[in-house]
Amino acid sequence: MGLGGCIILIAVGAILTFATDWDMQGVNLDLVGVILMIVGLIGVSTFSSIARRRRVVVPPTTPVVDEQVAPHHHRRDGYGDGYGV
């Protein structure tokens, strides 16, 4: 059961508990609604904990300068070859 099914269980349970006045012999619809809401809440919490574990955080990487790709690296002081004062 996915997240949508859990939300539907909560909604149906709330409707049965709070929005109906039906009297069925041998069935307490208020109790059935409360049970459906509890099962839906358990499902939502289980789904969110599983989704939290699946989330993979990739740390940001720093750019790597390859000397072969950028061979014309110049120093800030104007001397690109490393010689001089």
- pLDDT at residue number 50: 86
8-21 pLDDT per residue, tens: 999 999 999 999 88
The reported pTM is 0.59
- pLDDT at residue number 10: 95
- pLDDT at residue number 49: 87
Q: Give the H/E segment covering residue 1.
A: none
21-73 pLDDT per residue, tens: 888 899 999 999 999 999 999 999 999 888 877 766 666 777 766 666 545 55
- Convert 15-38 to b/e letters by CB count within 10 Å (16 or more is b): ebbeeeeeeeeeeeeeeebeebbe
Map residue 31 onto helix, strand or coil. helix
